[in-house]
Chain A
Amino acid sequence: MADTGRSAVTRIPGFTAAALLTFVLLYVPIATLVVYSFNAAPSMSRWDGFSLQWYEAALQNRQVREVALRSLWLALAAGTMATLVATLAALATVRGGRFRGRTMIHALINQPLMVPEIVTGVALMVVFSVVRVRTGYDGMAYLVLAHTAFCIPFAYLPVRARLETLDPTLAHAAADLYASRVRAFLHVTLPLLWPGVLAGFMLAFVISLDAVVITEFVKSAGQDTLPTWMLGQLRRVVTPEMNAVATLLLGVSMLAVTAFFLLSRRRG
Chain B
Amino acid sequence: MTAAQRRWLLLAPAVAILACVAAGPLLVMLVYSFLEPGEFGGVRPAFSLDAWFSVLFARDMFDPEIVEPNIAHLAILWRSVSLALQTTLVCIVLGFPTAWFIATRPRGTRELWLFLVTIPFWTNLLVRTFAIQEVIRNRGLVNTLLMQAGVIDEPIQMLYTDFAVLVGMAYVFLPLMVLPLYAAMERVDRRLLEAARDLYASRWRMFREVVLPLSRPGLVAGSVLVFIPAIGAWVTPRLLGGGRNLMLGNLIELQFGQGRNWPLGAALSMTLLALVLVALLVYLRAVDPDTRRRDHG
| A-side contacts of B190, CB under 8 Å | 9-10
| B-side contacts of A150, CB under 8 Å | 22
| Contact present for A246 and B22 (CB under 8 Å) | no
B127 interfacial by beta-carbon distance below 8 Å: yes
| Contact present for A29 and B128 (CB under 8 Å) | yes
User: B140: shortest Cβ distance to chain A, in Å?
Assistant: 6
| A-side contacts of B130, CB under 8 Å | 33, 230, 234, 238, 242, 246
A171 interfacial by beta-carbon distance below 8 Å: no
| Contact present for B14 and A122 (CB under 8 Å) | no
Q: Which residue of B lies closest to A240 (CB)?
A: B134
Interface of A is mostly: helix
In chain B, positions 177-221 with a C-beta closer than 8 Å to chain A are 190, 193-194, 197, 203-204, 206-207, 211
The CA-CA distance from A30 to B121 in the complex, in Å, is 12
| Contact present for B17 and A118 (CB under 8 Å) | no
| Contact present for B140 and A44 (CB under 8 Å) | yes
User: B148: shortest Cβ distance to chain A, in Å?
Assistant: 8
Contact of B273 among A44, A88, A119, A152 (CB under 8 A): A119
Please encode chain B, from 127 to 141, with 1 for each CB lying within 8 Å of some chain A CB and 0 for all others: 111111111000111
Q: How large is the interface on B (under 10, 10 to 19, 20 to 34, 35 or more residues)?
A: 35 or more
Contact of A116 among B25, B102, B232 (CB under 8 A): B232
User: A124 with B252: in contact, given A12-B211, A115-B276 (CB under 8 Å)?
Assistant: no
Q: Which residue of A lies closest to B25 (CB)?
A: A123
| Contact present for A108 and B19 (CB under 8 Å) | yes
| Contact present for B131 and A127 (CB under 8 Å) | no
A2 interfacial by beta-carbon distance below 8 Å: yes
B253 interfacial by beta-carbon distance below 8 Å: yes
Please encode chain A, from 58 to 90, with 1 for each CB lying within 8 Å of some chain B CB and 0 for all others: 000000000000000000000000001110110
Please encode chain A, from 96 to 130, with 1 for each CB lying within 8 Å of some chain B CB and 0 for all others: 10010000010011011011111111111111000
| Contact present for B100 and A19 (CB under 8 Å) | yes
Binding stretch for chain A, among B69-77, B91-99, B289-297: B91-99
User: B276: shortest Cβ distance to chain A, in Å?
Assistant: 6
| Contact present for B105 and A4 (CB under 8 Å) | yes
User: A64: shortest Cβ distance to chain B, in Å?
Assistant: 14
| Contact present for B97 and A14 (CB under 8 Å) | yes
Q: Which residue of B lies closest to A147 (CB)?
A: B21
| B-side contacts of A124, CB under 8 Å | 21, 25
| Contact present for B139 and A92 (CB under 8 Å) | no
The CA-CA distance from A241 to B231 in the complex, in Å, is 32
User: A204: shortest Cβ distance to chain B, in Å?
Assistant: 12
B123 interfacial by beta-carbon distance below 8 Å: yes
**How many residues of chain A have a CB within 8 Å of chain B?**
88
A175 interfacial by beta-carbon distance below 8 Å: no
User: A250 with B124: in contact, given A117-B232, A120-B25, A125-B256 (CB under 8 Å)?
Assistant: yes
| A-side contacts of B26, CB under 8 Å | 111, 115, 119-120, 123
| B-side contacts of A231, CB under 8 Å | 126, 235, 238-239
The CA-CA distance from A123 to B270 in the complex, in Å, is 11
User: B69: shortest Cβ distance to chain A, in Å?
Assistant: 24
The CA-CA distance from A230 to B235 in the complex, in Å, is 11
B20 interfacial by beta-carbon distance below 8 Å: yes
The CA-CA distance from A123 to B28 in the complex, in Å, is 7
B150 interfacial by beta-carbon distance below 8 Å: no
Contact of B119 among A10, A15, A105, A254 (CB under 8 A): A254
A25 interfacial by beta-carbon distance below 8 Å: yes
Binding stretch for chain A, among B44-52, B59-67, B110-118: B110-118
* B positions within 8 Å CB-CB of A: 3-4, 6-8, 10-11, 13-15, 17-26, 28-29, 32, 93-95, 97-98, 100-102, 104-106, 115-120, 122-135, 139-141, 144, 171, 174, 190, 193-194, 197, 203-204, 206-207, 211, 228-229, 231-232, 234-235, 238-239, 249, 252-253, 256, 262, 265-266, 269, 272-273, 276-277, 280
30 contacts between A and B (CB under 8 A): A10-B100, A12-B203, A19-B101, A22-B98, A26-B120, A44-B139, A45-B139, A86-B14, A96-B6, A96-B10, A105-B15, A108-B14, A111-B26, A114-B228, A115-B26, A116-B272, A118-B272, A122-B252, A125-B256, A149-B17, A152-B17, A156-B14, A209-B124, A210-B122, A213-B235, A234-B133, A246-B124, A246-B126, A253-B122, A261-B115
* A positions within 8 Å CB-CB of B: 1-4, 8-16, 18-23, 25-30, 32-33, 36, 43-45, 84-86, 88-89, 91-93, 96, 99, 105, 108-109, 111-112, 114-127, 145-146, 148-150, 152, 156, 206, 209-210, 212-213, 227, 230-231, 234-235, 238, 242-243, 246, 249-250, 253-254, 256-257, 261
8 shortest interchain CB distances as A-B pairs: A116-B232, A19-B101, A29-B131, A123-B25, A18-B97, A92-B10, A2-B106, A15-B97
Beyond A85-B14, A150-B22, A249-B124, 11 additional contacts (C-beta under 8 Å) are A14-B97, A23-B98, A91-B10, A105-B15, A123-B28, A206-B122, A209-B124, A230-B126, A230-B130, A257-B118, A257-B122
